[in-house]
Amino acid sequence: MTANQGYAGFGRPGDIVNDKVLTRSEKAETLLHWQRSATLLARLAPEEERAAYQKLTMELAIALARIDNAASTPHILPDRSLKSSQA
């Protein structure tokens, strides 16, 4: 496997984030597996391939952050409580 080969049928980490079928937890799990694989393979890669693995590792971290940030959050402003809106 090389850094540009893809993983589990996906070409790039962003393809997993944009997938319409996988759940948020399935996306995160797939990205984490890919990240672990890339980390292990980067150690064994020839010097000329290491930059590609570093780029892939950054893409995976960004994709994981996008998944984390997509978690549902309540739509309440921080300085407003539910009690004041019910009055």
Please answer whether residues 17 and 27 qualify as being in contact, where contact means their C-beta atoms are separated by less than 8 angstroms. Answer: yes
pLDDT band at 1; cut points 50, 70, 90: low
Could you tell me the pTM of the whole model? 0.73
CA–CA dist 44, 67 (Å, integer)? 29
pLDDT digits (tens, 9 = 90+) for 5-61: 888 889 899 999 999 999 999 999 999 999 999 999 999 999 999 999 999 999 999
Number of H helices, E strands in the chain: 4, 0
- The residues spanned by each domain of the chain are 1-70
Of residues 73 and 27, which shows the higher confidence score? 27
Q: Which two tokens stand for residue 48?
A: 């000329």
pLDDT band at 78; cut points 50, 70, 90: low
Among 42, 19, 43, residue whose Cα is nearest residue 31: 19
